[in-house]
Amino acid sequence: MENQKLTLDQIVSLAKRRGFIFQSSEIYGGMGACWDYGPLGVELKQNVKNCWWDFMVRAREDITGMDGSILMHPEIWVASGHVAGFHDPLSDCKDCKVRIRPDQHTVVAVRDDAGKAILVASFETEDPEEAVRECKEKFGQELNAVPEPSYVTHSMEEKLGPCPNCGGELTEPRQFNLMFKTHVGPLEDSSSLVYLRPETAQAIFVNFRNVQQTTRLRIPFGIAQMGKAFRNEIVTKAFIFRSREFEQMEMQYFIPPDEDEKWYEYWREIRFNYYTDILGIPKKDLQWAPHPPEKLAHYAKAAADVTFRFPMGWQEIEGVHNRGDFDLSQHTKHSGKDMSYRDPVSNTTYVPKVIETSAGVDRSVLMALCAAYAEVPEIGEGHKREMRSVLQFHPRVAPVSVAVFPLSKKDELIDPARRLEADLREASFRTAFDVTGAIGKRYRRQDEIGTPFCVTLDFDSLQDQAVTIRHRDTMEQDRVSIDRVAEALHNKIRSW
């Protein structure tokens, strides 16, 4: 489905209805910006993580994995710059009290052909084109009467605009540190203060020597990790896109000091193609957003985001960063431990530079849901066919890869169908088994959760030892010998 027409509400409601994602602590009124993955959601999320781990770690000789702890020595966050610099600007509306991040808003001023100001409004996007689009959508009727309107945009960071909610006056931005604090041990004083990690990357940096010495990997090589990260985000709309507890998939690639530009380009290409080739995201829905020099993070020499066309506009799913030797040098300074590397062949010693690829698990899940969502006409006769929703997941990420249906509830069909399901499970397919309702209904249930294949065993199967494989997106049906179903499905997935 074209994402412009898709709304986030459609995704939220499907995700809840079919058990992908629930509001955390729902029966207590919910916990802001925290989400629980239900039975299908956890499978989807696990598949997204497996794709990344297989692609980044298992398929490569030059990348190894690790899993660091969430609580780390507090000095790490001083060294990394997070204590001093991990802030977001925060403004409050003096009238409606809404809290916003001005750096994520754009102001649009509309003038008529004589240059007279017609209206000024602010929108929650950093993209000027998106802001103009939203402005036209919101004030369409008023603007229809304006002769040749012109639209001037500027970021709210340069000049604070009106409140996006009520048009009221905003307070000057204050800086707000995003790290969650907690205490270790029984005493809650400053000596026991620790932080929940706001990124997984630092565990990799502080273990650089441990990993290099135990694996004896030679530079260039990478260390990958995935796990929870926590940020006390100020504004947390857009479902799982921005939450306070989320998962990251990060890889730090350690390189010689004079090779950063080459490897930065290399990783940009690899990571962009990953989304199209491995997760099956359409290329037209992905684009790069390079960080302008004045917006680079404190550690970065160059950075660019892979962005996806979400229903709320183009937004980041992954950042590729040239971090230079900032982190290893900082940890040498703060820990007193030498973090340099001695190349065994050239005998040179240096502090490696780092290219980082940093992706969000939850944002990838949301992207997979949005990219897969389609509305297709109801199967059946007649011209008053209603639309129904289908998730056209790539088989690699689909929570269920194949559903097995015996045509009737008779034991003579149920038993062989159960055997087929068990065989498919053993062949590593994620299976479902459904005996209830007409076959058409069963197909629709699987279509809505994104199962790419359904296999039906009917009374003819008892004679010809064959079953029908039905394909979700084409609705085509193939008759395949029962002992070749796994092979046929593997072939279909390989050529997807």
Which residues are near ligand ATP by CB under 6 A? 199, 231, 233, 242-243, 246, 248, 316-319, 358-360, 362-363
Q: Which residue's CB is nearer to ligand ATP, number 285 or number 362?
A: 362
Smallest distance, ligand ATP to C-beta of residue 303, A: 8
Strands 431-433 and 402-406: parallel
Between CA 165 and CA 95 the distance in angstroms is 10
Q: Which residue's CB is nearer to ligand ATP, number 303 or number 400?
A: 303
Q: Which long-range contacts (CB under 8 A, 24 or more apart) does 204-209 make?
A: 204/66, 204/68, 204/250, 204/252, 205/80, 205/252, 205/327, 205/328, 205/331, 205/339, 205/354, 206/68, 206/72, 206/76, 206/331, 206/335, 207/66, 207/68, 208/254, 208/328, 208/339, 208/352, 209/337, 209/339
**Identity (one letter) of the amino acid at 493?**
I
Tokens representing 323 are 């971090």
Q: Which residue's CB is nearer to ligand ATP, number 231 or number 470?
A: 231
Q: Which residue's CB is nearer to ligand ATP, number 106 or number 248?
A: 248
Q: Which of 299, 306, 358 is nearest to 330 (CA)?
A: 299
Q: Which residue's CB is nearer to ligand ATP, number 308 or number 405?
A: 308
Q: Which residue's CB is nearer to ligand ATP, number 104 or number 212?
A: 104
Smallest distance, ligand ATP to C-beta of residue 135, A: 22
Q: Which of 457, 466, 463 is nearest to 433 (CA)?
A: 457
Smallest distance, ligand ATP to C-beta of residue 453, A: 30
Q: Which residue's CB is nearer to ligand ATP, number 318 or number 327?
A: 318
Q: How many CB atoms lie under 10 A from the CB of residue 414?
A: 15
Smallest distance, ligand ATP to C-beta of residue 271, A: 11
Smallest distance, ligand ATP to C-beta of residue 305, A: 7
Smallest distance, ligand ATP to C-beta of residue 275, A: 12
- Phi and psi angles of residue 212, each rounded to the nearest 5 degrees, phi first: -65, -45
Q: Which residue's CB is nearer to ligand ATP, number 363 or number 394?
A: 363
Smallest distance, ligand ATP to C-beta of residue 251, A: 11
Q: Which of 326, 320, 316 is nearest to 303 (CA)?
A: 320
Smallest distance, ligand ATP to C-beta of residue 391, A: 21
Give the residues across from 175 on adjacent strands: 89
Residue nearest to ligand ATP (CB): 360
Between CA 385 and CA 369 the distance in angstroms is 24
Sign of CA dihedral 7, 8, 12, 15: positive
Residues 6+ positions from 346 with CB-CB distance below 8 Å: none
